[in-house]
Amino acid sequence: MKTKFNFKKLTTKSLITAFVLTASSGLIAQEKKSNDLKSFKIVVEKTDDGIKMQSFNGSAWIDLAFSINNDRPQAVDEYGMTNLNKVSSEKDSKLADFLFTINKTDSGIVLKGIEGTAWTDLSFSLAENGKQAINEFGMTKLN
């Protein structure tokens, strides 16, 4: 009877230890990811026929504007509009190394962070001609 009790106790302690280690490694990985990110700031504007974006830092481009369908996302990196199959291999240490897709919906904007962002999915409501600033961590203030 005592052997069963010790086995249960050992199993419980092992599970607790595994859980704590798993949770800790996830936090360390998240912290490392955040520390590896380079700063960028982009203002996204939803227009009648597409999207306008203005970059304030972290990219080689200043203004982008493009027509976009509600069902087809556009890939954007630090060099501008791109195709996910033809991402630039050039890396400039003065620029943020980011890649995301942006899609216009009826009610707002949907972004998928692929590289260089702490977010993987970011969506927000945005009226026509409304603006929202984003950075490597998500939504941020316009100014």
Residue 100 shares a structural domain with residue 58: yes
Among 5-14, 51-60, 98-107, 120-129, the range scoring the smallest mean pLDDT is: 5-14
What letter represents residue 108's amino acid? G
Q: Taking a C-beta distance cutoff of 8 angstroms, is the pair 79, 60 a contact?
A: yes
**Same domain membership, residue 49 and residue 22:** no
Model confidence at 60: pLDDT above 70: yes
The count of structural domains within the chain is 2
Whether residue 25 is found in the same domain as residue 48 = no
Do 90 and 30 belong to one domain? no
Question: pLDDT-based confidence at 141, cuts 50/70/90?
Answer: very high
One-letter amino acid for residue 103 of the chain: N
Do residue 47 and residue 24 come from a single domain? no
Residues 26 and 64 occupy one common structural domain: no
pLDDT for position 25: 40
CA distance 117 to 138: 8
Q: Are residues 100 and 68 both part of a single domain?
A: yes
Identify the H or E element spanning 99.
strand 99-104
Residue 75: its H or E element: strand 74-77
Q: Are residues 3 and 64 in the same domain?
A: no
Reading the block at residue 132, the tokens are 């929202």
Return the pLDDT at 1. 54
Same domain for 76 and 116, yes or no, is yes
Residues 73 and 116 in one domain: yes
Q: Please tell me whether residues 27 and 64 are part of one structural domain.
A: no
Q: Which residue has the higher pLDDT, 103 or 6?
A: 103
- What is the pTM (predicted TM-score) of this model? 0.73
Q: Confidence class of residue 38 from pLDDT cuts 50, 70 and 90?
A: very high
Q: Do 30 and 95 lie in a common domain? A: no
| Structural domain span for residue 2 | 1-36
Q: How far apart are CA 135 and CA 48, in angstroms?
A: 24
